[in-house]
Structure 1
Amino acid sequence: MDSSAINLPSPGRRRGRYSDSFKADIVAACKAPGVSTAAVALANSLNANLVRRWVAGSDPAHKAAVQLARVQSAASVSVSPTVAAPASTPGFVPVPLATPSADIRIELRRGDHLITLYWPVAAAAQCLSTLQDWLR
């Protein structure tokens, strides 16, 4: 086995230290729509798990949940060392969903031309057969 082809870490290697502004820039890049956290980490020579921790830590709701869990775990230990208090779970939070469109929307682009088709969802089978005929 040739050990010259393997890159080993140097013996005095230490953890990287990053400024708060650098972390904020990385987190902002990760929160952009359509951007992968792993891709941002890879592009900046960072570990993806480290970047995910930064993103999770930047969320105020996440920070509050972590602090609440720490307080609850400390309280359960101080109450009785033999019986631990059950951790409370957060309740259900309803999230309003966007209402789906009543039409099927298909965009076809060829060169500079754009054709947009709107088809009622109730006639989806007819839309499918029309598109299949047209694509043959």
Structure 2
Amino acid sequence: MERLIDGERRLRREYSADFKALVLRQTRERGASVSGVALSHGLHPNMVHRWLREQRLLREKALPGTPAFVPLPVQSVVSQERVALPVTPAPAPVSGICEAIHIEVQRHGTTVTMDWPVTAAAQCAQALRELLQ
């Protein structure tokens, strides 16, 4: 099962491929834990985890390469016509001076510009929500 590399002192253990396969097969059994299998064979669980990683890497190398990104053709439809939105008219300003909300939205190649008085901010928000849906 194991062979000591240096005969004088225990430097590093080397395990046969059959022994590794046996241990890894036991870890795949239902209800088995890697730690339990490792300890039953006198191994540290980290060693068995390393063997599992190495086995997974070998399997991944054997599989044909799958690209991480596959480009898909997207048909772009851009309309240059103006779109009329149903808008609730804003109330007239009380004073002669009016601060305005100016919004410019660009979507799908179309630009929508809106100017709203600050006093009608709620209606502006509603129109913007409908536009961005």
Q: Please indicate the TM-score interval, normalised by the length of the shorter structure.
A: 0.3 to 0.5
Write 1 or 2 for the structure with the bigger share of helix.
Answer: 1
- Structure with more contact order per residue of length (Cα contacts < 8 Å, sep ≥ 6): 2
Write 1 or 2 for the structure with the bigger share of strand.
Answer: 2
TM-score, normalised by the number of residues in structure 2: 0.37
TM-score, normalised by the number of residues in structure 1: 0.37
